[in-house]
Structure 1
Amino acid sequence: MDFKIRDDRKPQGPRQLVQEREEYLRLVDQGTPYEDACRIVGINSKTGRRWRNGRSADRRQKAALPITGVVPPHLVPLTEEPAASSRYLCEADRIHIADRLREMATVRTIAAELGRSPSTISREIRRNRTVLSDGRWYYRPHAAQRRADKRRPRPKAAKIGQNPELRDFIQDYLARRWSPEQICHALRRRFPDRPEMHVVHETIYQALYVQGRGELRRELTRALRTGRAVRKSQRHSARRRQRFPHPMVMISERPSEVADRAVPGHWEGDLIVGSNSRSAIATLVERSTRYLMLVHLPNGHAASAVRQALADTVQTLPPHLKRSLTWDQGAEMAAHHAFSLATNIPVYFCDPGSPWQRGSNENTNGLLRQYFPKGSDLSRHSRNDLDAVAAELNSRPRKTLGWETPAECLAKLLATAS
Structure 2
Amino acid sequence: MARRGRKRRLEIEAEYWRLLAAGVGTVEACKRLGIGRKTGYRWRAESGGLPPVVLPEASRSRRYLSLLERKRIATLRERGLGVRDIAERLGRAPSTISREPRRNSLPHDRGVYDADLAHHRSLERGGRPRRVKLAADPELKAEVQRLNLEWSPEQIAAHLRALWPDHPERHLCHESIYRALYQGARGGLSRTLTRKLRTGRPLRKKRRRSDQRAARFAAPAVLIDRRPQVVELRSRLGDWEGDLIVGPRSQSAVATLVDRRTRYLLLVALPDGHSAGHLRDALVAALDALPDHARRTLTWDQGSEMARHHELAPYFTDGVFLAHPGSPWQRGTNENTNGLIRQYLPKRTNLSLHTPDDLRVIEDRLNNRPRKTLGWQTPALAFAAALAP
Counterpart check, 1:340 vs 2:309: no
Distance in structure 2 (CA, Å) of the matches to 1:252 and 1:336:
16
Query: What secondary structure does 2:283 align onto?
Result: helix
CA contact (8 A) 1:303 1:332 kept: yes
Superposed CA offset, 1:94-114 (max 9, x none): xxxxxxxxxxxxxxxxxxxxx
Distance in structure 2 (CA, Å) of the matches to 1:300 and 1:378:
11
Q: Which of 372, 378, 389 does residue 362 from structure 2 map onto?
A: 389
**RMSD, aligned α-carbons:** 3.8
Distance in structure 1 (CA, Å) of the matches to 2:206 and 2:360:
43
Aligned partner of 2:191: which letter?
A: R
So what's the TM-score if we normalise by structure 2?
Answer: 0.55
Which residue in the other structure is 1:43 paired with?
none
CA contact (8 A) 1:181 1:201 kept: no
Which residue in the other structure is 1:165 paired with?
139
* CA 322–160 in structure 1, closer or farther in 2 if over 3 Å, else same: same
Which residue in the other structure is 2:174 paired with?
202
Aligned residues: 250
Counterpart check, 1:409 vs 2:362: no
Superposed, which structure 2 residues align to 1:40-79 within 5 Å?
none
Q: Which runs of 4+ in 1 moved over 4 A?
A: 158-164, 176-180, 182-185, 191-196, 198-201, 231-235, 238-241, 342-345
CA contact (8 A) 2:245 2:255 kept: yes
* CA 346–160 in structure 1, closer or farther in 2 if over 3 Å, else same: same
Query: What secondary structure does 2:370 align onto?
Result: coil
Q: Which of 326, 332, 351 does residue 353 from structure 1 map onto?
A: 326
Superposed CA offset, 1:50-109 (max 9, x none): xxxxxxxxxxxxxxxxxxxxxxxxxxxxxxxxxxxxxxxxxxxxxxxxxxxxxxxxxxxx
Which residue in the other structure is 1:259 paired with?
232
Q: Which of 290, 296, 319 does residue 269 from structure 2 map onto?
A: 296
Distance in structure 1 (CA, Å) of the matches to 2:277 and 2:351:
19
Q: Which has the higher contact order (CA 8 A, sep 6+)?
A: 2
Which residue in the other structure is 2:191 paired with?
222
Q: Which of 242, 247, 253 does residue 269 from structure 1 map onto?
A: 242
Query: What secondary structure does 1:393 align onto?
Result: helix
Aligned partner of 1:205: which letter?
A: I
* CA 381–195 in structure 1, closer or farther in 2 if over 3 Å, else same: same
Superposed CA offset, 1:273-324 (max 9, x none): 1122111111100000000011111211111111111001111112211111
Counterpart check, 1:282 vs 2:255: yes
* CA 308–210 in structure 1, closer or farther in 2 if over 3 Å, else same: closer
Shift of 1:218: 2.5
Distance in structure 2 (CA, Å) of the matches to 1:367 and 1:245:
33
Which residue in the other structure is 1:244 paired with?
217
CA contact (8 A) 2:264 2:383 kept: yes
- Structure 1 unaligned segments of length 5 or more: list them: 1-157
Counterpart check, 1:306 vs 2:279: yes
Shift of 1:266: 0.7
CA contact (8 A) 2:247 2:347 kept: yes
Give the structure with higher Rg (CA): 1
Query: What secondary structure does 1:339 align onto?
Result: helix
Distance in structure 2 (CA, Å) of the matches to 1:184 and 1:335:
39
* CA 183–163 in structure 1, closer or farther in 2 if over 3 Å, else same: farther
CA contact (8 A) 2:295 2:315 kept: no
CA contact (8 A) 2:153 2:177 kept: no
* CA 222–299 in structure 1, closer or farther in 2 if over 3 Å, else same: same
Shift of 1:337: 1.5
CA contact (8 A) 1:184 1:200 kept: no
Which residue in the other structure is 1:370 paired with?
343
CA contact (8 A) 2:181 2:189 kept: no
Which residue in the other structure is 1:399 paired with?
372
Distance in structure 2 (CA, Å) of the matches to 1:240 and 1:297:
23
Distance in structure 2 (CA, Å) of the matches to 1:254 and 1:205:
39
Shift of 1:384: 1.0
CA contact (8 A) 1:329 1:350 kept: yes
Aligned partner of 2:139: which letter?
A: E
* CA 372–227 in structure 1, closer or farther in 2 if over 3 Å, else same: closer
Query: What secondary structure does 1:329 align onto?
Result: coil
Distance in structure 2 (CA, Å) of the matches to 1:310 and 1:232:
31
* CA 335–166 in structure 1, closer or farther in 2 if over 3 Å, else same: closer
Distance in structure 2 (CA, Å) of the matches to 1:313 and 1:239:
30
Distance in structure 2 (CA, Å) of the matches to 1:232 and 1:378:
25
Shift of 1:208: 2.4
The percent of aligned pairs where both chains have the same amino acid is 45
Aligned partner of 1:409: which letter?
A: A
Aligned partner of 1:269: which letter?
A: G
CA contact (8 A) 2:292 2:317 kept: no
Query: What secondary structure does 1:220 align onto?
Result: coil
Structure with the higher helix share, 1 or 2: 2
Aligned partner of 1:291: which letter?
A: Y
Distance in structure 1 (CA, Å) of the matches to 2:206 and 2:274:
29
Which residue in the other structure is 2:353 paired with?
380
CA contact (8 A) 1:398 1:406 kept: yes
Distance in structure 2 (CA, Å) of the matches to 1:267 and 1:376:
26
CA contact (8 A) 1:181 1:200 kept: no
Superposed, which structure 2 residues align to 1:35-114 within 5 Å?
none
Query: What secondary structure does 1:300 align onto?
Result: coil
Query: What secondary structure does 1:259 align onto?
Result: helix
Superposed, which structure 2 residues align to 1:9-24 within 5 Å?
none
Distance in structure 2 (CA, Å) of the matches to 1:373 and 1:210:
31
